[in-house]
Amino acid sequence: MYGISNVVVVWFIVHSIKYYGVNVHIFLYREEFNILLNTLTASWEFVAADPSSTINEPGLSTLRVEYSFTSGDRADIVLVDQYSRIVAVEIEPEVTATDEAGPLQAIKYRHMLEWSANRAPGDSRALLIAHKIDTVIREKCVKYGVECYEIPRERVIK
């Protein structure tokens, strides 16, 4: 697909996965990175504009997009639900059976938001939103209290 000369345009490491015990980095070329960035930006804007309609839950409202923590971490979107619980949203383009980063970030941000907003433990939720989420990850998310929502790419990017 890309020739050797294009190696110099490697821009961003997307994922680091274990393959036979060795960390393997998946690189994106500049063009691929721009497509991914545009998809993520469109998804953030789509969810933040009307979260209640997007995931079919009355009473959701956007508190902040790209919420920065003092640790340097950044939640994609922070919502508040109809019961005033704080909701950490992690958005990924697609979550395969081995993609654990998105669910782990959702879990982490949920607890960090409780701390930052001085909420009682458990007074928060974690949402993972993607165009597709593998069944293996969905099952693990249920076990750890991460709600999963799939939003078809066609609904976001028109």
How many whole angstroms separate alpha carbon 89 and alpha carbon 3? 38
Q: Are 102 and 146 in contact (CB under 8 A)?
A: no
Instruction: Note if the pTM is more than 0.85.
Output: no
Question: Which of the four pLDDT bands, split at 50, 70 and 90, describes residue 43?
Answer: low
At residue 37, the pLDDT reads: 46
CA distance 53 to 46: 10
Q: Hey, what domains does the chain have and what are their CATH numbers? A: 37-156 (3.40.1350.10)
Q: Tell me phi and psi for residue 77, to 5 degrees.
A: -145, 145
Per-residue pLDDT tens for 141-154?
999 999 999 988 77
pLDDT, one tens digit per residue, over 80-109 is 999 999 999 998 888 999 999 999 999 999
Mean pLDDT within 112-132 = 93
